[in-house]
């Protein structure tokens, strides 16, 4: 006899656990199946993001940033700290503590909202039956749902011929667990993960080389921002090599020998550790029975419509396993939207206003379209920008690198994109997301009073500059 639920969620990551909580809040009898095993051997909710992704990487980024600032910048503030050292085990322990608090917090929210959790691997069968292979036993349980939400997430893409061994050749998980600073770290892929984790170990003293097959740096970002970012990362001793294709990697005598090919031909590089981060793909292994009714796309993602319906009745899918950006906040908003649709409410997501963030130092964040996209689409626009170097707060902080760039429709003045590189870019972008969600114009932001002195004044001045009337820069 199957246990009955209004909603069964397979996957307890940012899409799944949020969908489960919202469904329960709406009065639906809800279950969530999650297979992740924490350090204590028990179920750990939160998926990749909380356990080995967004959260632990940000913990290490902040620890390494404090260390770098203390070592290289605090003297300018009159702070003499003497000899500075980093205790790597303590740094990792703090990271684990942060993760534990958050995963435990999600478990507490499940209990408070009466979401029933099952620790195991869920598989969708025909008729919305979910077969759960329990993690801590050989038993299986059968669940029956009126609705099922698939939130199985994603996994790292492996390169052909390069095997992860968890010690010398690692994915993002392994790069969060180095017990000592590698003397020389190779990173395949100069995207978000490569830049963030490369920055962590570079700040702590590693010689970091990023090998990127594409000819352009951060092509998803606005070209003005990516060019400025490339210059800044070079100052930070990140060796970014574009147009470099990795052909093979082999561990010999506790070192990784990597064969690469660029415009100069083929050569070999030797590293103490190699991080492979060339992207992620939807994880659907053993998720669906042949008669589940759920279809996959050519890319291996779960096929959904604009409201996250799959091809099976009352089966939905959200997050990394479906189309759209693989971002935790996108997954969460999809999860909320689906829960509300199931409960008979109206809900939607505007993919055009999903913000992107790279948590380097300085941070990079953007929302909407880039200048190159607008030019390719033939959309007439006006552009305004403002440098943090001209803000009092940025100079007082000692972190005034970067700029805000705003793009607006030439005729209507509606904001089409905002691109930021600088201190607290991840926070500053939120104002721009709200503005774009409400179809605001650059004039709207230009006429809003911004506190002084703040970093947000750079957003204000960029908006003023779109209209050719910035105060603290030449228009």
Q: Which two tokens stand for residue 265?
A: 């031909």
Residue 381 CA to its chain's centroid (Å): 29
Q: Single out the residue of 375, 467, 455 nearest to residue 421, CA to CA.
A: 455
The region that residue 147 occupies, defined by phi over 0 for left and psi between -120 and 50 for alpha, beta otherwise, is beta
Q: Which phi and psi (to 5°) does residue 293 adopt?
A: 90, -5
Residue in the structure block whose two tokens are 């940012």: 14
Task: Give the number of other CB atoms < 10 A from CB of residue 423.
Answer: 23
Q: What backbone phi and psi angles, to 5 degrees, belong to 83?
A: -70, 130
Helix orientation angle between 16-25 and 328-342, rounded to the nearest 10 degrees: 30
| Phi, psi for 82 (deg, rounded to 5) | 70, -150
Q: Which two tokens stand for residue 339?
A: 């829960």
| CA atoms of 235 and 133, how far apart (whole Å) | 51
Three-class SS of 53-98: CHHHHHHHHHHHHHHHHHHHCHHHHCCCCCCCCCCHHHHHHHHHHH
Contact 38, 52 (CB under 8 A): no
Token code pair at residue 20: 């489960």
Q: Are 421 and 366 in contact (CB under 8 A)?
A: no
Known catalytic residue: 452?
Answer: yes
Q: Which residues pair with 210 in a beta bridge?
A: 187, 240
Print the SS3 string covering 285-346. CCCECCCCCCCECCCCCECCCCCCECCCCCEEECHHHCCCCCCHHHHHHHHHHHHHHHCCCC
Which one of 450, 452, 460, 472 is the catalytic residue? 452
Verify cis geometry, omega within 30 degrees of 0, for the bond prior to 362.
Answer: yes
| SS3 (DSSP) at 451 | coil
Q: Is-contact 192 217, C-beta < 8 A?
A: no
* E strand or H helix at 130: strand 129-134
Q: How far apart are CA 336 and CA 332, in angstroms?
A: 6
DSSP string, 394-424: HHHHT----EEEEEEETTT-BEEEEEEEETT
Residues acting as catalytic residues: 452
């Amino acid at each position: 006899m199957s246990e009955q639920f209004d909603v069964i969620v397979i996957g307890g990551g940012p899409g799944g656990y949020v969908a489960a909580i919202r469904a329960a809040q709406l009065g639906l009898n809800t279950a969530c199946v999650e297979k992740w095993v924490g350090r204590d051997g028990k179920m750990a909710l939160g998926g990749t993001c909380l356990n080995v992704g967004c959260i632990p990487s940000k913990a290490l980024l902040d620890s390494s940033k404090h260390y770098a600032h203390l070592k290289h910048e605090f003297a300018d503030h009159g702070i003499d700290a003497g000899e500075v050292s980093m205790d790597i085990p303590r740094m990792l322990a703090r990271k684990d503590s942060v993760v534990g608090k958050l995963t435990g917090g999600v478990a507490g929210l499940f209990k408070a909202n009466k979401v029933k959790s099952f620790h195991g691997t869920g598989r969708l069968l025909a008729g919305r039956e979910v077969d759960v292979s329990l993690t801590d036993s050989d038993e299986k349980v059968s669940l029956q749902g009126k609705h099922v939400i698939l939130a199985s997430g994603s996994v790292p893409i492996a390169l052909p011929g390069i095997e992860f061994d968890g010690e010398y050749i690692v994915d993002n998980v392994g790069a969060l667990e180095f017990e000592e600073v590698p003397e020389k770290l190779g990173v395949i892929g100069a995207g978000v993960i490569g830049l963030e984790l490369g920055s962590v170990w570079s700040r702590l003293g590693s010689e970091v080389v990023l090998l990127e097959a594409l000819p352009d740096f951060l092509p998803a970002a606005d070209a003005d921002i990516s060019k400025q970012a490339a210059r800044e990362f070079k100052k930070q001793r990140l060796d970014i090599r574009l147009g470099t294709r990795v052909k093979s990697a082999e561990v010999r005598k506790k070192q990784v020998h990597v064969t690469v090919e660029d415009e100069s031909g083929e050569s070999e590089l030797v590293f103490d550790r190699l991080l492979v981060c060339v992207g992620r793909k939807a994880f659907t292994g053993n998720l669906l029975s042949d008669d589940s009714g759920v279809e996959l796309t050519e890319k291996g993602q779960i096929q959904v419509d604009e409201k996250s319906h799959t091809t099976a009745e009352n089966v939905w899918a959200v997050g990394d396993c479906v189309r759209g950006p693989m971002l935790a906040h996108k997954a969460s908003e999809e999860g909320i939207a689906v829960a509300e649709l199931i409960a008979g409410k109206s809900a939607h997501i505007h993919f055009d206003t999903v913000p992107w963030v790279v948590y380097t130092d300085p941070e990079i964040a953007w929302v909407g379209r880039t200048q190159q996209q607008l030019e390719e689409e033939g959309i007439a626009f006006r552009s305004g920008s403002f440098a943090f170097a001209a803000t009092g707060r940025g100079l007082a902080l000692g972190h005034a690198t970067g700029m805000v760039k705003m793009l607006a429709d030439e005729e209507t003045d509606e904001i089409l994109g905002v691109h930021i590189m600088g201190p607290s870019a991840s926070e500053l972008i939120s104002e721009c997301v709200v503005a774009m969600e409400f179809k605001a114009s650059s004039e709207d932001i230009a006429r809003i009073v911004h506190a002084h002195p703040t970093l947000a004044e750079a957003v204000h001045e960029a908006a003023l500059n779109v209209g050719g009337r910035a105060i603290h820069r030449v228009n």
